[in-house]
Structure 1
Amino acid sequence: MHSKSAASLILLSLFGTSRATYILPRASPVGSTVKLDYGTFHGLEDHTTGILYFRGVRFADPPVGNLRWRAPVSPPSTQLGDVKATQFANACISATQRRVTSGTSEDCLFGNVYVPINTAVSDGLPVMVWFHGGGFQSGSTHDAPPELILHSSSNPMIFISFEYRLGPLGFLGGTQINDDGDLNVGLLDQRAALRWVQRYIGQFGGDNKKVTIWGQSAGAGSTMFHLIANGGDNEGLFRAAMGDSPSLSFVPAFNEDYDVQIFNQYASFAGCGNQGANVLSCLRSADANTLASASSQVLAARPSTLFVFAPILDGKFINERPVEAYAAGHFARVPVVFGSNTNEGAHWSAELRDPSANTSMPNATEDTVFNFIRGQYVTFTQASVNRGFELYPLNSFNGSFSLQGQQMYGEVRYICTAGMITGSVSKFTTAYQYHYDNPHLGSFHADELDAFFSPPANADQNDLALFEAMREYYTSFVTTGTPSAENAVAWDRVSSPSGSSRILFHPGGIKMEVVDDVLNTRCNFWHGINQEMET
């Protein structure tokens, strides 16, 4: 007897010509073993969480030796055979490390794929890709557990997180690297990871046409840069982008004095400063501990700067700074969600070892505030800060230079950036902005991540209800393109260049709000001096 096609079975049923029952074969399940063309990965099937965990999946060759400061080689060029993929692999070396510590390595280009347990290979699930924060200098994927996000999604989806090179190994500038290597390799790692998703996610039950990228802080800065990279050509790598507290950092050109001096300083600390034309060869042959020590010494030599290493203007992948690119419309035309927290700028200045830039000092003055901001944007001028002080009058902050400085920094770096991105994108496609404000648990930088990964023990019922709604908004945006949450207000899209209106994530009271004129005026000021600030 010949097997019948699905179409013929439907016809038999419709016309009543047969009483027989035919059971179609079930689509092939993903299961805990996935075979790719360069290796077979054996993950963990956890029936308690209902998730398949594939951790430590290599997506590129180790970026060591001659591959330092070069674009990642992805997919891996050698056969890996059978790989146990149940535990996290090494995280990338942080810029602050004085040596290579356990759990970190240069060999760090790995991803983690989390799949609902009953997924079939043919299901074509939407995919959420996470890039961690840490100022482009630290952080890892290990602090982003998938359980709450996947369990809150009304529709099944896949969650993936990727490591990328950090600090000088990811974002060192200078003409030598431009001439014999690649700049912004940390961003190129992320881009390679997204190409890996395009090539392989189908074998995990995902749809490579339904990818949304997401990140926080430097991770949100990353999604901001991926939107404008290649002049706005996203190569079909993602259909939407999200960012929590997108970081508008100082973006010098690779051949500016700032980057050249950092390169020379780093090379000198690594013992390669006297190598002339061979300095990069020397750096590529140095051991990893030597490079880690050199990195930490560069940071120590710049005590008024929070993040020395970050994306730079390379003239190729990033050929336009963010403020200019978004104003000109040079970005991928995809829907976005971006937002920020009330107290984004708090605590940062107090971390600085330079007392002349630390506004928490009892003898702080306007000069301290200026030194704090200039430490992050080294081309910021006295004339501009004087104009800034008019927009942030000290008497509005109870005479506190600390509060004044934190508001200025929080807005220029994060708050105004979310408004800029969403306001610009809204002219072409759907954009949504949020404002996270939680007086109970705090509304500092990264506090909103409690909702997605790790609600604190002192979260009350209002907090937990807010967190659930936030996860529903985010995951529905990934799966349907429209953020929505059960028993919560409709999230209206942005309809003005200022990023207004935006949703207020507040425990016991989610609602829409308008971006007020005061904030709009301040943001216009910061973005109006973007060429001076190199943002």
Structure 2
Amino acid sequence: MLTNRSALILLAAWALSALASPIKPLVVQDSIYHLATNDICLDTESDPSQELVAAQVFLDDGVVVGFQEGAADKFLGIPFAEPPTGQRRLRGPEPIPPYEGLLYAQKFGKSCPQQELVFPKVDSQLLLDIGSVVGRLYEKLTPDDEDCLTINVVRPSGTKPGSKLPVVVWIFGGGFELGGTSTYDGGVIVSRSIELGEPCIFVSMNYRPKLSNLLAFGFLPGREVKEAKIGNLGLQDQRLALKWIQTYISEFGGDPSKVTIWGESAGAISVSLHMLTNKGNQEGLFRGAIMQSGGPIPVGDIENGQQYYDFMVERTGCRNHNDTLECLRKVPYSTFKHAMDESPNFFAYQGLVLAWLPRVDGVFLTEPPQHAVLRGHVSNVPMITGNCDDEGSLFSISTKNISTSADMKDYLKLYMMPKAKDAEIDLLMKYYPDDQRAGSPFDTGLKNALSPQFKRTAALQGDFVFHGPRRFFLKQRASKQNSWGFIWKRVKSTPFLGTAHATDLVNSIIAPGELMDYVIHFTSNLNPNGKKGLGIPWPQWNPRDPKAIVLQDSTLFPVVIGNDNYRSDPLDYVANMSLVYPI
């Protein structure tokens, strides 16, 4: 059982994980490139214990110089698109011209500019400590800059062109508001893949969240954005990166026909939306998909977020301009950044009804995601999708002033379902009763009641945004494409939070664990059951008898096969409400 301090460390690891250490002095051996820059030291008299050997790849008419670290070659911070600055702000990403000359790729590119991370004020010292640690680490480990559209490739050391290794592409989370690739070191995945005898290549890319590259929003909603056809720029960035992989990954030793896309939270939602765009035609960009805590999110038209566009126009002084969109492109960054930080983030009172979500823009998304699923507009590729048990707890901390059922109903009507009828909300509240034993953190009885309605709110939020879409996706698609489900139930003893959102990252991408092995097996074989590993067969998800693997707090049985039919009626009702009343 975890101590409070262990839980604190784990939650800090969730947000920012343990990252690659600063680049060490590099010795270029057997290479003509004996050069020095501000970013790299080529001092052959350095301490040999601190020296790393260069690795290089030829792209077009250029040479990309990375470095070897342990069992991996790392190529970090490679530009894959033109910087979306100046006249390129608030426009779709443009492919970068062919590479020429030398490109040193020894450190992560900076993250796209993002919103200030503000943790809610609470009475719990533990939660305050978690917020403080996460905030400090986040600021330190995700520096931002306007020139941020870069990609990273990590491969087994010495891999040559023509090796045709499978490729796993990581899309980071962060609520479409913040995040960057520097928080995840693909060397751990690559090293573990070698140990399993299934070597693979790890790729990650930066993309524009809510705000990036000064004024270039990634997910700005509004009528003006829709008319200009510039919605969902962050998803367009990701798509361009996937096309870059098709063009160049073979030079790193990867097989462009064996690409799996993988993400967590906003990254998992992104994965699902890549499966739905273009009426499900993935254009050969990937052959498999892995989603941790995210699926076809219940969103509607981009104009549903008009209030957030108007908020930014008002706060930046653009309200009286004839062309408010052009004004936003030119407003001073300091003014805009201040306005951005005043807008709601995912720790705000409205919780997971996020301001800066992907929405139907008529270009990347031409229909609500869940409607696309019903119409069969889905990439027919094998997939894994899973959730943490207590997805909503972390995002419900700020709602502790909801103390009665009447308050709960008002909250639902104001934020989650403003267009729903009273009778529909009353029925929803019956599915999620005013009983702390039924709330989240689940299966903890009367414990963890941060406020009278906290556990109820946490259950509702987690089911609307995470559990509901996952179950809906599986029920609609598992009979048509190979699908596997998982439920993460570890660290359940964490006070107030339980098995919180993103706690599974420690097991899947930060450090070797069962989920990491499953990811590697799936990337190599399109099946999480590898030749080596746990010895527990993971059954495919079957709508008639839904089974999933459950990763739980148990020394004897850490991984078991369990029924995936929890909260069946409430989740069906949530799915139906989402279809009728998307965000």
SS in structure 1 opposite 2:367? Answer: coil
Q: Let me know the Cα RMSD of the aligned residues.
A: 2.6
Alignment map for 1:109-508 (pairs within 5 Å):
109-153=149-193, 154=196, 155-168=198-211, 169-246=217-294, 249=297, 251-254=299-302, 256=303, 258-276=304-322, 278-299=323-344, 303-306=349-352, 307-350=354-397, 352=398, 358=399, 360-361=400-401, 364-373=403-412, 374-376=414-416, 378-395=418-435, 396-397=437-438, 398=446, 400-438=452-490, 439=492, 443-455=499-511, 468-484=513-529, 486-496=533-543, 500-506=546-552, 507-508=554-555
Between 55-64 and 288-297, the greater mean CA deviation after superposition: 288-297
C-alpha separation between the residues in 2 aligned to 1:111 and 1:323?
A: 30
Aligned equivalent of 2:111, options 88, 91, 111: 91
C-alpha separation between the residues in 2 aligned to 1:370 and 1:160?
A: 44
Partner residue of 1:11? Answer: none
C-alpha separation between the residues in 1 aligned to 2:345 and 2:201?
A: 41
**1:450-488, CA deviations, whole angstroms, 9 ceiling, x for partnerless residues?**
113335xxxxxxxxxxx5322111110000111125233
Q: 1:382 to 1:262 in 2, by over 3 A?
A: same
**1:44-100, CA deviations, whole angstroms, 9 ceiling, x for partnerless residues?**
112xx21011110111011112212211001x13756322111111101113379x9
Partner residue of 1:461? Answer: none
**1:140-190, CA deviations, whole angstroms, 9 ceiling, x for partnerless residues?**
111111233222222110001111101151011223223335111010000
**1:344-388, CA deviations, whole angstroms, 9 ceiling, x for partnerless residues?**
1113121x3xxxxx1x23x61123334554535554554332111
C-alpha separation between the residues in 1 aligned to 2:351 and 2:489?
A: 27
Between 408-417 and 364-373, the greater mean CA deviation after superposition: 364-373
Partner residue of 1:7? Answer: none
SS in structure 2 opposite 1:194? Answer: helix
Partner residue of 1:61? Answer: 82
1:139: Cα distance to partner?
1.2
Partner residue of 1:513? Answer: 562
C-alpha separation between the residues in 2 aligned to 1:406 and 1:125?
A: 42
**1:306-343, CA deviations, whole angstroms, 9 ceiling, x for partnerless residues?**
52101011122211212222222210100000000111
Kept in 2: contact 1:423–1:497 (CA 8 A): no
1:216: Cα distance to partner?
0.3
Q: Aligned partner of 1:332: which letter?
A: S
Kept in 2: contact 1:212–1:241 (CA 8 A): yes
Partner residue of 1:463? Answer: none
**1:403-440, CA deviations, whole angstroms, 9 ceiling, x for partnerless residues?**
11111211121112222223322121200000011136
SS in structure 2 opposite 1:172? Answer: coil
C-alpha separation between the residues in 2 aligned to 1:264 and 1:524?
A: 34
SS in structure 2 opposite 1:268? Answer: helix
Kept in 1: contact 2:264–2:502 (CA 8 A): yes
Partner residue of 1:26? Answer: none
SS in structure 2 opposite 1:139? Answer: coil
SS in structure 2 opposite 1:433? Answer: strand
Q: Which of structure 1's runs of 4+ aligned residues deviate more than 6 A?
A: none
Kept in 2: contact 1:217–1:244 (CA 8 A): yes
Q: 1:405 to 1:248 in 2, by over 3 A?
A: farther
SS in structure 2 opposite 1:207? Answer: strand
Q: Which has the larger radius of gyration?
A: 1
Kept in 1: contact 2:297–2:370 (CA 8 A): no
C-alpha separation between the residues in 2 aligned to 1:344 and 1:145?
A: 24
Q: 1:446 to 1:269 in 2, by over 3 A?
A: same
SS in structure 1 opposite 2:394? Answer: coil
Aligned equivalent of 1:82, options 83, 86, 102: 102
Q: Aligned partner of 2:509: which letter?
A: F
User: TM-score with structure 2 length normalisation?
Assistant: 0.77
1:270: Cα distance to partner?
1.8
Q: Aligned partner of 2:455: which letter?
A: L
SS in structure 2 opposite 1:45? Answer: strand
Q: 1:469 to 1:250 in 2, by over 3 A?
A: closer
Kept in 2: contact 1:97–1:292 (CA 8 A): no
C-alpha separation between the residues in 1 aligned to 2:151 and 2:72?
A: 16
Q: Aligned partner of 1:265: which letter?
A: F
Kept in 2: contact 1:241–1:337 (CA 8 A): yes
SS in structure 2 opposite 1:273? Answer: coil
Partner residue of 2:64? Answer: 41
Q: Aligned partner of 1:321: which letter?
A: P
C-alpha separation between the residues in 1 aligned to 2:544 and 2:167?
A: 29
C-alpha separation between the residues in 2 aligned to 1:68 and 1:367?
A: 45
Kept in 2: contact 1:212–1:242 (CA 8 A): yes
C-alpha separation between the residues in 2 aligned to 1:314 and 1:323?
A: 15
Q: Aligned partner of 2:564: which letter?
A: V
Q: Aligned partner of 1:422: which letter?
A: L
C-alpha separation between the residues in 1 aligned to 2:493 and 2:103?
A: 45
C-alpha separation between the residues in 1 aligned to 2:168 and 2:205?
A: 11
Partner residue of 2:441? Answer: none
Kept in 2: contact 1:419–1:433 (CA 8 A): no
C-alpha separation between the residues in 1 aligned to 2:418 and 2:234?
A: 22
**1:464-514, CA deviations, whole angstroms, 9 ceiling, x for partnerless residues?**
xxx53221111100001111252331000011178x211111244212111
SS in structure 1 opposite 2:567? Answer: helix
1:137: Cα distance to partner?
0.5
Q: 1:454 to 1:472 in 2, by over 3 A?
A: closer
C-alpha separation between the residues in 1 aligned to 2:169 and 2:416?
A: 29
1:233: Cα distance to partner?
1.2
**1:168-221, CA deviations, whole angstroms, 9 ceiling, x for partnerless residues?**
510112232233351110100000010010111011100100000000000000
